[in-house]
Amino acid sequence: MLTERCMVLRISERMKVGRPENIERAIEILKESLGKKISTREVDLVSYSHDYWPITLHWLIKGEVPALPDAVVWPESTEEVQLVVRTAHELNVPVYPYGGGSGVLGGTVPERGGIVVDLKRIRDVVLNEKDLIVEAGAGVNGYYLEKYLESKGYTLGHFPQSLYPSTVGGWIATKATGQFSTKYGGIEDMILGLEVVLPWGDIVTLPPHPRTATGPDLRKLFIGSEGVFGIVTRAWLKIWPMPEERIMISFVSDSLNDALKSVKKILRRGAKPAVVRIYDEIETKRHFYMFDEAYGKIMTVMILEGDKNVVEAERKIVEEEFQGRPLGEEPVEHWLKTRFDVKEASEFAPLGVVFDTIEVSSRWSNAVRLYENVRKAMMNVNGTLFASAHASHFYPQGVCFYFTFAGVPRGDPFEYYESVWDAAMRATLESGGSISHHHGIGRQRRKWLPEELDKAIEVLRRIKEALDERHVMNPGNMNL
Ligand SMILES: Cc1cc2nc3c(=O)[nH]c(=O)nc-3n(C[C@H](O)[C@H](O)[C@H](O)COP(=O)(O)OP(=O)(O)OC[C@H]3O[C@@H](n4cnc5c(N)ncnc54)[C@H](O)[C@@H]3O)c2cc1C
């Protein structure tokens, strides 16, 4: 079927589902009102056939795309998004919100055909200095927003490793979190208000308030909903004055447990370092090989920032509590310089090496057991070359482990990939953890979601049914 629509590439057999019945009519209507803001050109369809889901790189190399949309639109206003969604709803045509396409779980893959809605042209920014709030269109690029705020003396404090290719709407939809989250929180802690186009085309605005008690918080319904409950078109976010002081500290410890225990104590005394990262032995070797003192040890890097007096008090707490040898600022400077380097996945795929990362969370009481179980489970899969982790986000109650694995599959890369994911998800659940800390569910993790949510999955299904009974809004994503 694909040959009718695209001469060069095949659709992967894994997801092929056919074309929506009324797609031609929908495209005709949208062309009339959107003109050049809609495309059915092959180059655009192929460009929007995938996000940054690492296994799809292996398919692309073989000339396969995970799925193809029938059209791509670039609306410039909430009203244009409304028009697209209304038309799609009336004609039963799927729509897939698309931000920066940096999602790593296939969340934007147009698996049932239909229309990809790229939000990047909704990109206005309004600074409200009196209330310390920034209003941003859903398509505003993360790096642009932060640079703009910094030029005015503020920061959002949100630095995902994908800051350069991701958008405000994508952050909200995936419940993203950034490298400075221990102080500033995840995106859910930054959102004060939202504007959303609902699956039948109505626009709702949930205005920015410091807090409200007007029933359940509907903002939360859309944070982490991955485009299945509606399209976020605008957000109001908290901002902070640029920090007055920044202190960089690093330590090497003999064991992961020592480092984790130290950070737990620091947080429980009320200090909030903006950045804390603890690397296991393998990752310490991989990322900090130039520091002889770190060889065979566990590296921890920390950044404390904010008001000078507060930061000084935090430094004292860190120095009193950390069990390890101080290594100064240099490792932190190295981390700051390299923190956006992400070339591995695309470098390894052409060599036939399957590479991916899996982030999960754990309460402190299970943390070390979970780390060991998940790593062992991934290593036990035939073909795995290495599995390692660092702890990247911290709370008084627990921690996020960010695992990395690489392997050379004996047969089909997808089968190997699924086996490692399966092993990691199962070990996480058996160790009492949560299967995702910040990447979300998408199409890669969807089969494990019911197991984690148990009976609560029914709540999600019924909300989906109530909001989108025609299943036009990113159908299949999160299995909804
Ligand atoms: C190298 C790399 C590093 C990364 N580091 C981090 C990290 O540090 N922290 C982190 O949290 N994530 C990280 N990610 C994952 C990814 O960047 C985040 O999930 C990001 O929030 C996705 O934003 P995006 O704009 O690219 O969304 P997309 O990939 O375009 O979309 C992601 C999902 O959100 C939906 N969506 C997008 N925009 C909207 C909207 N306006 N309304 C409704 N639904 C929408 C899509 O349909 C899809 O389901 C990383 C990814 C890569 C490739």
Q: Which atom of ligand 1 is nearest to the CA of 230?
A: 43
| Residue pLDDT, tens place only, 258-286 | 999 999 999 999 999 999 999 999 999 99
Q: From the CA of 340, how far away is ligand 1's center (Å)?
A: 15
CB 441 within 8 A of CB 227: no
What is the whole-number distance in angstroms between the Cα of residue 441 and the centre of ligand 1?
A: 11
Query: Is 6's pLDDT higher than 80?
Result: no
pLDDT in tens, 134-173: 999 999 999 999 999 999 999 999 999 999 999 999 999 9
CA of 102 to the centre of ligand 1 (A): 5
- pLDDT at residue 8 tops 60: no
pLDDT (tens digit, 9 = 90+) per residue, 192-233?
Answer: 999 999 999 999 999 999 999 999 999 999 999 999 999 999
Per-chain mean pLDDT for the chain = 95
Q: What is the pLDDT of residue 249?
A: 98
For residue 96, give the ligand 1 atom closest to its CA.
Answer: 47
Mutate to test the pocket of ligand 1, among 145, 171, 172, 174 (most ligand atoms within 8 A of CB): 174
Give the number of residues written for the chain: 480
Q: How far is the CA of 316 from the centre of ligand 1 (A)?
A: 37
Q: Which tens digits make up the pLDDT trace of 381-418?
A: 999 999 999 999 999 999 999 999 999 998 999 999 99
